[in-house]
Amino acid sequence: MKKILYLIPLLLFMSACTKGFEDINRNPFSPTQTDIGPLFNTVIGSLRLGWNEQFYLHNETLYGITQQAAKTAVGFDNITIGTEEVWGNYYKALAHIREMERRLDALELEPEALNNVRAQVKVLLAYKTFRVTDLFGDIPFSEAGRGFESLDYARPKFDSQESIYKTLLDDLKWVEDNINTFPNPTTASGKPYYSVGEFDNLFNGNMVLWRKFANSLRLRHAMRMVEKDPAFATPILKEIIENDLPVIKQGEEVAMRPNQQNWTNESVIWSFQEHNKLRMGTTVWSWLSDNNNADGSGIFDPRARIFFETNNENKWAPFPQNPAPGTPAEGGIPYGQHRDFNYDIKGAANLYSPFNYYLVRDAHYIPEVMLTAAEVGFIKAEAYLRGLGVAADVGKAEETYFESVVASFTFWQSMATGSAIWENKPPILSTGQLFAAANHPRLFIFSLPNKRELIYAQAWMDQFRQPWEAFALWRRTQMTPREGTAPAYYRFAYPPSEAQNNPENYAAQVAKMGADAPNVKVWWMP
């Protein structure tokens, strides 16, 4: 038995093509253990953003590429620290997911009784895998995480992003067809459904929300691949939209919530404080304010004061997205935690508007956003506008867009209202005031000709704390707000550990792509 217990973590280490498996949840793969609850909870925990992921991938790279913010100086070149963390997190979680699937197969229960837990596992697998393949392109998938099954899987092959997408979308269709959303469901023979119970820290056993999350992911990723394979993607859009299948609605936004899940999110403030180079840029400012008035009198979007704040002189000052020579250098300490006690001290060198301190400081009440109701609405609006899977209907597109803008305003305002430490909160607007804000001439789609660009701009704005999703939106459309020429940066290079631990398959993959470089497009890009 001891030999078996020692061997399994080793095989898992090899199967995931990455380092770090020695601490894989205190060896949860004991052959005598059948309960999947702890494994399920561990996978839920793996949904949290990594510290280095946020520092090197988001703050150092993606905010500048998406122009949701501006980087004020040349930063760090150690992007691989972030990619290693993302890669390792995913393959550890994938090994747990494969083990959960194996244990479900081994349970002596009616197949129907396992449908709900299988559905939950499939949704987790889809969300995590979509995130990683969208960052890197082709990745090891079908053979990965299976080292405990056979040494044949010790160094897994790379799967094409196309095959991964279609597999995951088929899995999510299975969820829609098989999940049972009735309370305390029983099988046809009267047996209760198997449940992970209190280990579901994402939706607390609410199968309606799991179903909605699955369909929302189907919408997101069918739209993402629609330019590349409309024959596969448009029927998915049609099924969900025309049949009005349940999707995430306002107030149901999917997120990791520290105060509800009993963890403290210290990574965000660390990534901003240590990096200290992100400020409000001129691109995003142009979509928040009618003018450059330093007193903020031109601000028309209520999210402006939630996303950002004034500089050390209490002025609204965007940093040039593409700074000219002689642009004053930025400094200061706007993300220093001394502001818990001396809020107004941002440092004399803080010349430009930083991110709102409390948005990145509150470690308990600010969630890590995964999917919003507004995003779902913007996808539907685009489908109606372009006639993707459904008949083109400009009126429905406009109405859905407008509702989505209000949903975004409402969600982001809840960040400030829901925080127990957020002082100097922006004005809290009533529903009527939020509707009025959405009617601003810059946002009023009913009278504007550039409707498609407006949908993308507001989706991009809603994804303010999801720069990886804004990165995907830009790559798919090339129509999100931008100043200057877009960089040829379409993916992250694989982490060095993959070349070291899986050399033959890595070499074959690089030969297939031509280069392991950022300018290689991922499959679904037009």
What is 183-204 written as a DSSP string?
A: SS-B-TTSPBPP--GGG-TTTT
The pLDDT assigned to 14 comes to 40
CB atoms within 10 A of CB 369: 21
- Segments of 100-215 assigned E as strands: 139-140, 158-159
The arithmetic mean of pLDDT across residues 5-15, rounded, is 38
The pLDDT assigned to 37 comes to 95
Reply yes or no on whether the pLDDT at 330 is more than 90.
yes
Rounded to whole angstroms, how far apart are CA atoms 300 and 284? 13
Percent of the chain with pLDDT over 90: 91
Reply yes or no on whether the pLDDT at 486 is more than 80.
yes
Confidence grade of residue 34 (pLDDT, cut at 50, 70, 90): low
pLDDT (tens digit per residue) in 157-193: 999 999 999 999 999 999 999 999 999 999 999 999 9
Q: Which of 41, 16, 215 has its CA nearest to residue 121?
A: 41
380 compared with 20, residue with greater pLDDT: 380
The pLDDT assigned to 41 comes to 96
The arithmetic mean of pLDDT across residues 21-32, rounded, is 36
Q: Could you give phi then psi for residue 355, rounded to 5 degrees?
A: -60, 150
The pLDDT assigned to 151 comes to 80
The pLDDT assigned to 65 comes to 98
Which region among 23-37, 272-286, 439-453 has the lowest average model confidence (pLDDT)?
23-37
Reply yes or no on whether the pLDDT at 29 is more than 80.
no
Rounded to whole angstroms, how far apart are CA atoms 64 and 322? 10
Rounded to whole angstroms, how far apart are CA atoms 326 and 404? 41
Which class is domain 1-247+488-526? mainly alpha
Rounded to whole angstroms, how far apart are CA atoms 181 and 209? 9
Which region among 9-18, 151-160, 211-220, 456-465 has the lowest average model confidence (pLDDT)?
9-18
Query: What's the whole-number average pLDDT of the chain?
Result: 93
pLDDT (tens digit per residue) in 94-106: 999 999 999 999 9
Q: Are strands 278-279 and 254-256 parallel, antiparallel or unpaired?
A: unpaired
The pLDDT assigned to 273 comes to 97
Reply yes or no on whether the pLDDT at 92 is more than 60.
yes
**Would you mind telling me the total number of residues written for the chain in this entry?**
526
Contact 210, 120 (CB under 8 A): yes
pLDDT (tens digit per residue) in 356-366: 999 999 999 99
Reply yes or no on whether the pLDDT at 8 is more than 50.
no
The pLDDT assigned to 16 comes to 43
Q: Which of 390, 125, 363 has its CA nearest to residue 256?
A: 363
pLDDT (tens digit per residue) in 384-419: 999 999 999 999 999 999 999 999 999 999 999 999
Residue with tokens 């280095």, as numbered in its chain: 52
Confidence grade of residue 424 (pLDDT, cut at 50, 70, 90): confident
Provide the residue ranges of all domains of the chain, joining segments of one domain with +.
Answer: 1-247+488-526, 253-487
